[in-house]
Structure 1
Amino acid sequence: MDAEFWHSRWAQNRIGFHLDEVNPMLTQYWPAVNATREEVVLVPMCGKSEDLTWLAQKHDNVVGIELSDIAVRAFFAEHFYTPMVTALGNGQTLYNFDEISIYCGDYFTTQIDPVDVVYDRAALIAMPETLRRQYADKLLSMVKPGGRILLITLDYPQHEMDGPPFSVPAEEVEALFSGCQVRRLARDEKDETHPRRQQGITRFAEEAWLIEVK
């Protein structure tokens, strides 16, 4: 993962990947995860996502991991939260406010207690192909046996657009999580009015997956 690339995107406010509202796929498909309020939810590469606040309304412990301190500080400032800030060493910092904790640092070196549930909208698709196996292995190492992952991916002809976000087709999702039970919940094929299609991409779909860790 090119850390400088993401630091520069946040520094320049080039964050087209950020949604100003809760992701509709989260609200629609989160019930499939069947998570209790007490279960710990992990959001890798969370940015300043509104999804964090939505999840925190339903769960007592929501944990984010984010590389950019600009994104983390913006999240708390925009919600008028004053977090407790703890330096953890190795260049990592923990921000905590009520139900939400965000570890600011490199995803691949962040150490957390195993979680029950994961919501990934923008992490796997931010990874170039060369890092996806490492990303998935690290993610699975942070999930308890019996844990569940709600994964949102994109599927489009990769040669028609430079990532990120990258295309991660069904066969790759199934290969990355081959030791788990993998089920596609939905495929939303975008029509010609979608901004990506208007940029000349011939096919563009968003997919939701439920992955159950054995």
Structure 2
Amino acid sequence: MKNPWRQRWKEGRIGFHLHETHPALVRYWPALGVGPGAKVLVPLCGKSLDMRWLAEQGHPVLGIELAPEAIEQFFAQRSAGVARYPQAGFDVSRQGNVELWCGDFFHLHIQQAAEVGAFYDRASLIALPPATRERYAFHLAQLVPPGAQGLLISLTHDDQEAGPPFSVSGQEIERLMTPNFRLELLENGEADDRGRCESVWALKRRGPLV
């Protein structure tokens, strides 16, 4: 069975990719109070320019991406050298402060994410079909420590069956995330001409601080 995301990258059908930093990241990230130097986990990262922005704020970035095409296109945007090495089931590529791991996000172990102190989900949850979202929410919670903060940018649209990106309601986000995260809805955007509306959430991992 072909992976739909791999097919999209191979065929160049990546309308979900933004050619600029997402404005909500610029607007809301500073208010989270993520400590300087905290490593940011970016699941299902694609070739998002948001990772460059996070790195420019002084954060090491750990991006996880299944499609090698996305990773190669990300690093091709700059002429700086890329270091490559294997890491327990992943092919790792590093350029400056950005480290991209090519492989399955669900295979990332907590030991491999030991230095993570924050997270950013712009198009991860909405990339997954309903049956996989609960697994994603649980796995993300296992990878980030208590007190870790992050942003989640989600999407709703009129066709509940169409995707990816899939339509994920605020009620579903609360159901999935509330067991392990404290949530705050920061913004509900206006619907575009295709009926798609983004929402922005701040999340903080529950649990006793060490």
Cα offset, 1:89, TM superposition = 4.5
Which of residues 202, 205, 210 in structure 1 aligns to 2:197? 205
The residue aligned with 1:57 is 56
- In structure 2, what is the Cα distance between the partners aligned to 1:148 and 1:87? 29
- In structure 2, what is the Cα distance between the partners aligned to 1:107 and 1:3? 17
Cα offset, 1:15, TM superposition = 0.6
Aligned length: 202
Q: 2:72 aligns to what SS in structure 1? A: helix
Alignment of 1:138-149 (within 5 A): 138-149=139-150
Question: Alpha-carbon deviations, 1:136-173, whole Å to 9, x = none?
Answer: 111111101101120000123334x6111111111111
Cα offset, 1:80, TM superposition = 1.7
- In structure 1, what is the Cα distance between the partners aligned to 2:54 and 2:10? 26
- In structure 1, what is the Cα distance between the partners aligned to 2:168 and 2:4? 20
What are the ranges of 5 or more consecutive residues in structure 2 without an aligned counterpart? none
Change (3 A) 1:123 1:55: same
Corresponding letter in the other structure for 2:146 = P
1:137 maps onto 2:138 in alignment: yes
Q: RMSD of the TM alignment (CA)?
A: 1.5
The residue aligned with 2:126 is 125
Change (3 A) 1:182 1:60: closer
Q: 1:42 aligns to what SS in structure 2? A: strand
Q: 2:171 aligns to what SS in structure 1? A: helix
What are the ranges of 5 or more consecutive residues in structure 1 without an aligned counterpart? 198-203
- In structure 2, what is the Cα distance between the partners aligned to 1:210 and 1:61? 20
The residue aligned with 2:105 is 107
- In structure 2, what is the Cα distance between the partners aligned to 1:4 and 1:60? 31
Corresponding letter in the other structure for 1:69 = P
Question: Alpha-carbon deviations, 1:2-45, whole Å to 9, x = none?
Answer: 86211111111111111111111111111232112211111111
Change (3 A) 1:141 1:105: same
Scaled by the length of structure 2, what TM-score is found?
Answer: 0.91
Give yes or no for contact 1:40–1:59 (8 Å, CA) kept in 2: no
The residue aligned with 1:156 is 157
Cα offset, 1:87, TM superposition = 1.8
Q: 1:28 aligns to what SS in structure 2? A: helix
Corresponding letter in the other structure for 1:148 = Q
Give yes or no for contact 1:154–1:169 (8 Å, CA) kept in 2: yes
Aligned-residue identity in percent? 37
- In structure 1, what is the Cα distance between the partners aligned to 2:152 and 2:200? 6
Cα offset, 1:81, TM superposition = 2.8
- In structure 2, what is the Cα distance between the partners aligned to 1:33 and 1:80? 32
The residue aligned with 1:201 is none
Corresponding letter in the other structure for 1:72 = I
